Chain A
Amino acid sequence: MIWLTLLLVLLVLAALWASMTTALLRATLGLALTSALLAVFMFALGATLAAVVELSVCAGLISVVLVSVTTLTQPRSLKEEFEARKSRLRRFWPLPLVLLAAGVSLSFVRVPVNIVLRLPAGDGDVRTVLWSMRQLDLFGQILILLAGVFGVLILFRREAK
């Protein structure tokens, strides 16, 4: 349990680094690290299939997309960069303190309610659940993927002259 708590602390620290660091490439790296640590957490809890998807898609593909966006947008001038850093520091310095205070206070809070969930019996293999019990989700995923493809096509459409 101790190493799992340590893993979760590292997860939050990686996410904090991703949101606080000044360079966008470093922020992307922090996000990829967050995804990788989340995949380790999933693997530790026995969610191996979700861990593989998280590692390959979120830590891999999404990082590539974010790096591409960062490199396709021009950097600011040195003066603008300096001003932006000062302004960023003013807006972001309370974040670690807020997280620390929230973590300490929430670790002492124990709401005295006995939450009871009523769930249907039975829980098979993830492949059975995905392909036999949640077909509507798969249909929705296909629709969402198509919507994404058409969205990107419309965004990058060249206007007729």
Chain B
Amino acid sequence: MTIVIPQSFWLYFTFFALLLIDGLWCMLATRNLVRVLIGIEILMKSVTFFLIAAGFLTGRMALAQALVITVIVIEVVIVVVIAGVILGFFRRRDSLDVRNTRDMKG
């Protein structure tokens, strides 16, 4: 089956790009570890948004929903584990500053 992408693709692509820029900026410009997590979340939202838009445009909404549910499960695990890492870092260093992570032993 062949599907030609319609013009409304560019509308969805524009908003996907805006969310992507917002998430990247939030992640790279901040110095707070919780805000880095919020930036990652915004990036995940942009991916979820584009998956649903792609499913709608290609008429494969069931497949898109199955992929989005998988993405959401991965998103939750990432958030919980990073939240744990942030709490552990705060207990050891009494700080949430990203610059203090440079001298961690790894």
Interface residues of chain A, those whose CB is within 8 Å of chain B, are 1, 5, 8, 11-12, 15-16, 18-19, 24, 27-28, 31, 34-35, 38, 41-42, 45-47, 49-50, 53-54, 57-58, 61-62, 65-66, 68-70, 72-74, 84, 87-88, 91-92, 95, 98-99, 102-103, 106-107, 109-110, 114-121, 123-126, 128-130, 133-134, 137, 140-141, 144-145, 147-148, 151-152, 155-156
Kindly report which residue of chain A lies nearest to residue B13, judged by CB atoms: A106
Decide: A42 and B70 in contact? CB cutoff 8 A. no
Decide: A99 and B58 in contact? CB cutoff 8 A. no
Q: Which residues of B contact A103 (CB under 8 A)?
A: 14, 18
Decide: A73 and B96 in contact? CB cutoff 8 A. yes
Kindly report which residue of chain A lies nearest to residue B10, judged by CB atoms: A110
Known contacts A58-B72, A140-B70: A18-B18 contact under CB 8 Å: no
Decide: B68 and A144 in contact? CB cutoff 8 A. no
Q: Which residues of A contact B15 (CB under 8 A)?
A: 8, 11-12
Decide: B72 and A53 in contact? CB cutoff 8 A. yes
Decide: A106 and B17 in contact? CB cutoff 8 A. yes
| Assembled-state Cα–Cα distance A106/B72 (Å) | 28
Decide: B45 and A19 in contact? CB cutoff 8 A. no
CB distance from B54 to the nearest CB of A (A): 9
Decide: A69 and B87 in contact? CB cutoff 8 A. yes
Decide: B84 and A152 in contact? CB cutoff 8 A. yes
| Assembled-state Cα–Cα distance A124/B59 (Å) | 11
Decide: A117 and B2 in contact? CB cutoff 8 A. yes
Q: Which residues of B contact A102 (CB under 8 A)?
A: 17-18, 21
Q: Which residues of B contact A110 (CB under 8 A)?
A: 7, 10
CB distance from A34 to the nearest CB of B (A): 6
Q: Which residues of B contact A53 (CB under 8 A)?
A: 68-69, 72
Decide: B69 and A130 in contact? CB cutoff 8 A. yes
Q: Which residues of A contact B81 (CB under 8 A)?
A: 148, 151-152, 155
Kindly report which residue of chain A lies nearest to residue B22, judged by CB atoms: A15
Decide: A144 and B62 in contact? CB cutoff 8 A. no
B54-92 interface code vs A (CB 8 A; 1 in, 0 out): 011011111111111110111111011101111110100
Known contacts A15-B19, A46-B56, A66-B83: A129-B77 contact under CB 8 Å: no
Q: Which residues of B contact A31 (CB under 8 A)?
A: 38, 41-42
Decide: B1 and A70 in contact? CB cutoff 8 A. no
Decide: B42 and A34 in contact? CB cutoff 8 A. yes
- Cross-chain pairs A/B with CB under 8 angstroms, 14 sampled: A11-B19, A18-B42, A24-B34, A47-B52, A47-B64, A47-B68, A66-B34, A70-B34, A73-B90, A88-B30, A106-B10, A126-B66, A145-B77, A155-B87
